[in-house]
């Protein structure tokens, strides 16, 4: 099978995450997309809630899609959740499957700053998603991509299929996928909560209900929010 690996803090998960995973699945022909909420990320933010809540919200958000599954692989230990270690475990768990690491252009360009980047790019293929402020031509800046002559002439907007890819210096492939731009972010949702504003239609209703029922992100509220649980 062809498995997409989609990691993140999902703090909280929202429609931007879900739509990106759906489009990556469709364009590359993935059989499943495995969502992996981070357990103990190397760089933490002050408003990062407990992993168990982020895992549950991600599971609730994906339950209606048979092609989406959620893994607790990074929640099982207390050590730092380095991507390279998680991918190594997944390679061992799914030895007969093709693994595709799904991430945005901005994250891909930051890989040189990750833990053991040369090892990371040799483990799996990549699905590269468009992100606001970044174009596919920016990929040429990566020291790990074997740049084809046509890269500098690649149109900003391109719809790619699984037979279109670039090679990494490791021999692994990079599949560029243009994602429908949705101006939604977890930071934005937390800010709206802090400002006592509605978060409806930015994330699944079951996730919204879970946030209120469990008083998540309550520390971000400046004052009681009239009309909001």
DSSP state of 157: S
Q: What band does 226 get if pLDDT is binned at 50, 70 and 90?
A: low
Q: What is the pTM of this model?
A: 0.91
DSSP state of 201: T
- How do residues 39-91 score in pLDDT, each as one tens digit? 988 776 778 999 999 999 999 999 999 999 999 999 987 778 899 999 999 99
CA–CA dist 18, 6 (Å, integer): 10
Top-confidence residue, 112 or 165: 112
- The residue assigned the tokens 């760089």 is 43
- How do residues 110-130 score in pLDDT, each as one tens digit? 999 999 999 999 999 999 999
- Work out the mean pLDDT of the chain and round it to a whole number: 88
Give the mean model confidence (pLDDT) for residues 1-18: 97
Q: What band does 195 get if pLDDT is binned at 50, 70 and 90?
A: confident
| pLDDT, position 33 | 98
Return phi, psi of residue 211, to 5°.
Answer: -60, -45
| pLDDT, position 218 | 73
Give the mean model confidence (pLDDT) for residues 217-222: 62
14-28, 76-90, 185-199: range with highest mean pLDDT = 14-28
Give the mean model confidence (pLDDT) for residues 133-157: 71
| pLDDT, position 44 | 66
| pLDDT, position 148 | 58
Q: Which domains does the chain have, with CATH numbers?
A: 2-177 (3.40.50.620), 186-220 (no CATH)
What percent of the chain shows pLDDT beyond 70?
87
Q: What band does 204 get if pLDDT is binned at 50, 70 and 90?
A: very high
- How do residues 176-189 score in pLDDT, each as one tens digit? 999 998 999 999 99
Work out the number of other CB atoms within 10 angstroms of the CB of residue 115.
12
Give the mean model confidence (pLDDT) for residues 92-102: 97
- The residue assigned the tokens 């609730």 is 60
- The angle subtended at Cα 64 by Cα 17 and Cα 201, nearest 5°, is 50
| pLDDT, position 131 | 87
Buried-exposed string 178-215: b where 16+ CB fall within 10 A, e elsewhere: bbeeeebebeebbebbbeeeebeebbbeebbebbeeee
In Å, how far are 10, 77, 110, 129 from 203, measured between CA atoms?
11, 28, 27, 20
């Amino acid at each position: 099978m062809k498995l997409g690996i989609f990691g993140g803090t999902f703090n909280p998960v929202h429609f931007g995450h879900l739509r990106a995973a759906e489009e990556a699945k469709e364009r590359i022909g993935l059989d499943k997309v495995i969502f992996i909420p981070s357990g103990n990320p190397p760089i933490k933010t002050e408003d990062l809630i407990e992993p168990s809540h982020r895992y549950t919200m991600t599971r609730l958000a994906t339950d209606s899609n048979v092609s989406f599954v959620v893994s607790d692989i990074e929640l099982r230990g207390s050590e730092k959740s380095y991507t390279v270690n998680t991918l190594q475990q997944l390679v061992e768990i799914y030895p007969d499957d093709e693994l595709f690491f799904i991430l945005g252009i901005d994250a891909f360009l930051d890989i040189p700053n990750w833990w053991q980047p040369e090892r990371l790019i040799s483990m799996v293929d990549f699905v590269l998603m468009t992100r606001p402020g970044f174009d596919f031509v920016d990929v040429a800046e990566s020291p790990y991509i074997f740049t084809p002559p046509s890269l500098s002439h690649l149109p900003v907007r391109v719809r790619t299929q699984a037979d279109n890819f670039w090679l990494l210096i490791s021999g692994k492939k990079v599949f560029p996928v243009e994602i429908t731009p949705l101006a939604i972010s977890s930071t934005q949702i937390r800010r709206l909560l802090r400002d006592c504003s509605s978060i409806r239609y930015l994330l699944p209703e079951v996730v919204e209900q879970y946030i209120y029922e469990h008083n998540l992100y309550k520390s971000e509220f400046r004052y009681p929010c009239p009309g909001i649980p």
